[in-house]
Amino acid sequence: MAAVNLERVFPKLSPWGPGFERELVDDFTKYAGTGLDIKGYPTHNLAFSALVKGKADIMLATGYNPDLNSTTTPLVKGPVYEQSPASMLHHIRRFELRTPFELCDQDIFIPNHSGLIRIFKNLSEQLACSPNVISGANSNHLEPLLKFNEDKSIRFHLVESGALMPIKPFLHKLRVTDHFGDDLEYRWYTRKDVQGLAQKVEDYWQLITSNGTLDDLREKYFGFIPEEIDFYDVYSLRKNIREKLPLYRKYIIRAAKKYNIDPLLLAAVMYQESHFDPLAKSKTGVRGLMQLTNDTAQLLGLSSRLDPKQAIYGGARYLRFLWNKLDGRDVEGWDRWLFTLAAYNQGLGHVYDAIDIAKYTNRHPGTWRSLKQVFPLLTQTKYHSKTKHGYTRGYEAVDYVDSIRYYYYIMNGLAILPGLEADYLLPLANAR
């Protein structure tokens, strides 16, 4: 298989797994009962050329729509599974785009992406001007946008929204200012001369769109990323990582090792709970870095919820306790951790109730996507009256879990990317 080296295909930042598209490919090979050799290319054109020349049987086309009439090689289009527009970004130190005619006489960066180049060519013809296009060496958005995030010399950047989505939280100085052109399509292209392949691909896509696999993967990799990034929130997170996290890092690493938890995930829970404030107190009376109730602290044998070491070890131990209590509930992988976080927020009994409601409403009881839909139903008498533990603020659990997912994702990325935060986060990442 040929694919382009995009973050969502070959992720560097994501802790969730091998990548959204890559998981689809792996799942397809199991379905088809075949092996897999996936090769990354710097541009869509080179990946398409590999398909045409027989170096690949399938091309994963992320936002790339080739002209099949340009080749005599018989190819088959797979179904479109995603569409996204071309987004124009502007640097916050420069004026946003107030009218498209401002693009004239401007330097505009465009990755080496034929779909984006075509969209911009059409736009230039409409404007009757010739902006100066600075083209990247490849189709990847990550490296050049990280560079331009710190460099205000180029005012505008045209990118493909689907590829932008997973890196958007790290581009705190770039903002979407407009969208242009027709939506770019995500689909697979297959060689028609490989017997049975095109039909196998078509059958596979029909299966995963009907059984929830595609939606579950989309939720796993992207479901926590806000439509609009609150960059003040991200700024506060980064500031707290530099100024407060070092005070507790050794406790986080040791507690995470003792209870077999990812240290960055434990840090993300702590940040969601208290913003690394050991004296934090909520309206409901929970206290400390991990916002433990008095009853939970007594259950864990803590003498003080305000002592950072006790709070961190106690919170980690309680998370592992909740995780263990999900044995026999047919919840695996990351879904199990997300169920655990929901239990930390609303109580294990309410998670059990939500699982039962998922079954009652014919949803899969073992995925976070299902629980995300079901938990808010426990605010309604129609549903919570049928449960063992009754009413709970289920919508708060959804927001809580997705917020931790978001902070965890950002911390994982900041541990890898160049920047001040890497010095503070990399020891946690290395301790996994």
Residue 267 exposed, middle or buried by CB count within 10 Å (0-12, 13-18, 19+): buried
What's the pLDDT at 417? 94
Query: How is residue 144 written in tokens?
Result: 């050049």
Task: Report which DSSP code applies to 287.
Answer: B
Would you tell me which CATH number, out of the four given (3.30.1130.10, 3.30.200.190, 1.20.1070.10, 1.10.530.10), belongs to the domain 232-430?
A: 1.10.530.10
Reported in sequence order, the residue ranges of 96-155 that DSSP labels E, i.e. its strands, are 107-110, 132-135
pLDDT at 345 over 90: yes
| pLDDT (average), residues 266-288 | 95
pLDDT at 285 over 90: no
Gap between the Cα atoms of 366 and 353, Å rounded:
13
One DSSP character per residue, 64-79 reads ----GGG-SS-EEEPP
- Within the chain, which residue ranges are assigned CATH 3.40.190.10? 2-81+186-222, 83-184
Interstrand relation of 58-62 and 174-191 (parallel, antiparallel or unpaired):
antiparallel
pLDDT at 133 over 90: no
Residue pair 135/111 in contact by the 8 Å Cβ criterion: yes
Polymer length in residues for the chain: 432
State pLDDT tens for residues 45-98: 999 999 999 999 999 999 998 889 888 999 999 999 999 999 999 999 888 998
Q: State the architecture of 2-81+186-222 in CATH terms.
A: 3-Layer(aba) Sandwich (3.40)
Is 125 catalytic? The answer is no
Residue pair 160/112 in contact by the 8 Å Cβ criterion: no
State pLDDT tens for residues 286-302: 999 999 999 999 999 99
Residue pair 129/64 in contact by the 8 Å Cβ criterion: no
Q: H-helix or E-strand containing 270?
A: helix 263-274
- Within the chain, which residue ranges are assigned CATH 1.10.530.10? 232-430
Q: What are phi and psi of 184, to 5 degrees?
A: -85, 140
pLDDT at 276 over 90: yes
| pLDDT (average), residues 371-397 | 96
pLDDT at 36 over 90: no
What's the pLDDT at 283? 87
What's the pLDDT at 130? 78
| pLDDT (average), residues 266-293 | 96
**Which residues are within 8 A (CB) of 397 and not within 5 positions of it... i.e. 6 or more apart?**
342, 345, 346, 350, 375
* Catalytic member of 273, 332, 396, 421: 273
What's the pLDDT at 114? 82
Q: CA nearest 402: which of 276, 258, 222, 253?
A: 222
pLDDT at 375 over 90: yes
pLDDT confidence bin for 141, thresholds 50/70/90: confident
Provide the CATH number for the domain formed by 83-184 in this structure: 3.40.190.10
State pLDDT tens for residues 145-203: 888 888 888 899 999 999 999 999 999 999 999 999 889 999 999 999 999 999 999 99
